[in-house]
Amino acid sequence: MRGKRLLMIPGPIEFTDEVLSEMAVPTLSHVDPEFIELFGQALERMRGVWLAPHGQPFAIAGSGTLAMELAAANITEPGDNVLIVHTGYFSDRMADIFRLHGANVDVVPSAVGDLPQVEAVRAQLKAKRYKTISITHVDTSTGARADIKAFAAAAAETNTLVVVDGVCAVAGEELRMEDWGVDIAFTASQKAVGVPPGLALLVASQRALAVHRARRSTVRAYYCDWKNWLPVMEAYEARRAAYFGTPAVNLVRALNVSLGQILAEGMEARFARHARNARALRAGLSAIGLTFLPVREEIYANTLTAPYYPDGIDATVLAKIAEEGAMLAGGLYPSIKTKYFRIGHMGMSDKSEILATLGAIERGLARAGYSFPIGAAVAAAQSEYKKA
Ligand code: PMP
C-alpha cells in the first residue's frame, strides 16, 4: 500500500493483479489458437455474468459510448418511437444517440437525483406505441439506481424492446437479463467488469437480433453494425477465427480472466458484496454528517455513491483526499456539479478499500477545515460490516 493511491472513481477502477498481468504478456495474433480459445471462453462467460443463457454477446474495442451506439443503431430505424426513462446525464446521451439514428424520442422526466415512477412509464407506454424503451441502470451522474425488473415488466405489457445502459451496473448491481426480459444490456470494461478501459461489452436477446435481421433500412454506422460483428463473435465461440476489425487482444485476455474471477465469486455473492460495501460506505459518510444526491434510500446505487459536500467545503477537498490516498470524482450533473462528488466502489472492492477510502475522506475533510469527530466514519462503517 505504501504510496498507493486507491482509484475510487466510477471507472476506471482498481483492477486485480491477475487482470493487469494479462495486459503485459506478449500480444498474440488474433488468429492464434490460444487467443481463439480465450476469446471464445470470454464470450461464454459474458452470458454467465449477464445471466442471459440465450443471449448473444459482443465484445468490441471501444468505450461504453460505443456500446450505447451499438444498442441504438442496430435496432432503430428512422421514424421508430423510443421512450427514454430520464435518469440524468447518461440517459440524455442515450436520447441523443437514438435521435441520431432516426428515432422519435420521448422522455419520461424526473427531478435531479430521482427517477420516473414505474406507473408513469407504464402509462406512457400505453398511451403511444413505442418500439423501444431505454433505461440507465445506474446513472453515473447521480448515483441513482433504476428498478430494471419493474420497468422491464411494464414494457413486457406492450411488447416493447428493453435496452439497459448497464455501464455503471453490470457485474455489480443485480441484473437478471433473461428472467427480467431485457433485450439489450451493455457495459464497458473499465467498470464493475474490472478490466482497463477499451472494450464495449453488450449482450443482445434473440428477439433483439431478430429485430435487427428484419430491418428494412441499413444501419447507418459501419463499425457498429451487428451484421459485421455477429459472424466474428459466432466464429470465436465456435473456436474459429474470423475478421472484421482487429480485436483488442490483450484486453480480451484480461476480460477472460476478470470474468473468470467474477463467476468464481458467484453472481449472488457479488451482488451482496456490492450492496454491503455501499451500505458500509454510506453509514460512514452519514456518521460525519454527509447527505446523498439520490432522493430516496431505495434508489441508492451499490456501485457508486454521490455525497454532497458538507457546508463550507467545496471541490478543492478532492485533491486533499487524493493526497491522503483515495482518488475520487467530482460532480457531473451540469446544474449541480459543484455541489457533490462521486465515489466508485465496484469490481473487487472490499472492506479494506472502503475503510481506507473513508479514512482518506476523513483526513481530507479535516485538512479542509470541516469539523467532525475524526474516526467516526470508519467506526460506523466497521459496525455496519459487523452486522453483515
Ligand atoms: N453510460 C453510463 C451509465 C456511464 O457511466 C458511462 C461512463 N461513465 C457511459 C455510459 C459511457 O461510457 P464511456 O465513458 O466508457 O464511453
To which H or E segment does residue 359 belong?
A: helix 351-367
- Atom 1 of ligand 1: nearest residue by CA position: 167
Residue closest via CA to ligand 1's atom 15 equals: 64
Q: What mean pLDDT is predicted for residues 315-333?
A: 98
Instruction: Specify if 1 maps to a domain.
Output: no
Q: Which residue has the cell 441504438?
A: 72
156 shares a domain with 93: yes
Q: How many A from CA of 312 to the centre of ligand 1?
A: 31
Q: CA–CA distance from 336 to each of 112, 132, 293, 299 (Å)?
A: 9, 30, 10, 19
pLDDT for position 337: 96
All three cell numbers of 134, joined, read 431505454
Same domain membership, residue 286 and residue 237:
no
Cβ 81 vs Cβ 128: under 8 Å: yes
**pLDDT level of residue 4 (50, 70, 90 thresholds):** confident
Domain that holds residue 244: 17-265
Q: What is the mean pLDDT of residues 312-332?
A: 98
Strands 56-61 and 199-204: antiparallel
| Cα 166 to Cα 10, 77, 129, 170, 182, distances in angstroms | 13, 23, 25, 5, 11
Grid cell locating 251: 484486453
Taking the centre of ligand 1 as the mean of its atom positions, its distance from the CA of residue 198, in whole angstroms, is: 12
Tell whether 194 and 74 lie within a shared domain.
yes
pLDDT digits (tens, 9 = 90+) for 340-363: 999 999 999 899 999 999 999 999
Q: What phi-psi label fits residue 61: left (phi over 0), alpha (psi between -120 and 50 degrees) or beta?
A: beta
Residue 139 Cα to ligand 1 middle (Å): 9
pLDDT, residue 2, reads 60
Q: Is the CB of 188 under 6 A from ligand 1?
A: yes
Mean pLDDT throughout 97-123?
98
CATH number of the domain that residue 357 is part of: 3.90.1150.10
Average pLDDT value for residue range 294-302 = 97
Mean pLDDT of 186-204: 98
The cell 452519514 sits on which residue?
A: 286
Mean pLDDT of the chain: 97
Task: Give the β-pairing of 132-136 and 81-85.
Answer: parallel
Structural domains of the chain, count: 2
Choosing from 168, 190, 346 the residue with most ligand 1 atoms within 8 A of its CB, the one to mutate for a pocket test is 168
CA nearest ligand 1 atom 14, residue:
64
Same domain, 317 and 207: no
Residues 129 and 212 in one domain: yes
This prediction's pTM: 0.98
Residue nearest to atom 8 of ligand 1 (CA): 140
Render pLDDT for 11-64 as a digit per residue (tens, 0 to 9). 999 999 999 999 999 999 999 999 999 999 999 999 999 999 999 999 999 999
Residues 210 and 279 in one domain: no
232 assigned to some structural domain: yes
Nearest alpha carbon to residue 303 among 348, 352, 257: 348
Could you tell me if 284 and 294 lie in one domain?
yes
Please give the distance, rounded to the nearest whole angstrom, from the Cα atom of residue 350 to the centre of ligand 1: 23
